[in-house]
Amino acid sequence: MVSTSLTPAQSLSTHPGDHLAITFAPLAFDEAHRLADAAANGAIVTMSGMVRNNTNGNAVIALEYQAYEPMALQVFRQIAAQIRATWGSVTHVVIHHRTGRLEIGELSVLIAIGSPHRADAFAACQYAIDTLKANAPIWKKEYFVGQDGGIQATWVKCC
């Protein structure tokens, strides 16, 4: 498996506390938490999305993600900016998404929000994942066992 370290999309980020990335490398929960940590925070809320073993009653084998990276990172930046405009106490916004083939149980998306107050962190985290799913140009191909027992695959816009 190819491994690369995550680097912030600094040319897109408007705040030094933001870390926005799309990567082929596996996502690390501990890294996202660390990137959202600050002495001023009373809360870090994280959301991890992972590949589950079923969809629409079919047994999932794996997922494959593709993204239009420049536009997806722009959407991530817009999400971070809106979070800061809505919940001004937020100190850190971390949004990481995987691409490539992922197996059952692997993390596909990680969001971590650091804030002095838990209510802001929870609300901002939910806003981030809901808005990412609605707006980011990210697609997934679902590999599953069809009703005839054969392997089938279909592309769907995951977001």
- pLDDT value at position 1? 25
- pLDDT value at position 55? 85
Which conformational region is residue 105 in: left (phi greater than 0), alpha (psi within -120 to 50 degrees), or beta?
A: left
Describe the strand order of the beta sheet including 107-115 as a list of residue ranges: 18-23, 92-98, 107-115, 43-50
- pLDDT value at position 156? 80
- pLDDT value at position 152? 85
Tokens of 152: 């089938």
End-to-end CA distance of the chain: 25
The pTM assigned to this predicted structure is 0.89
- pLDDT value at position 5? 47
Residue 109 per-residue DSSP state: E
Average pLDDT per consecutive 10 residues, the chain (159 residues; last block may be shorter) = 42 76 97 97 98 90 96 96 96 98 98 98 98 96 87 76
Q: Domains of the chain (ranges plus CATH)?
A: 18-157 (3.90.1170.40)
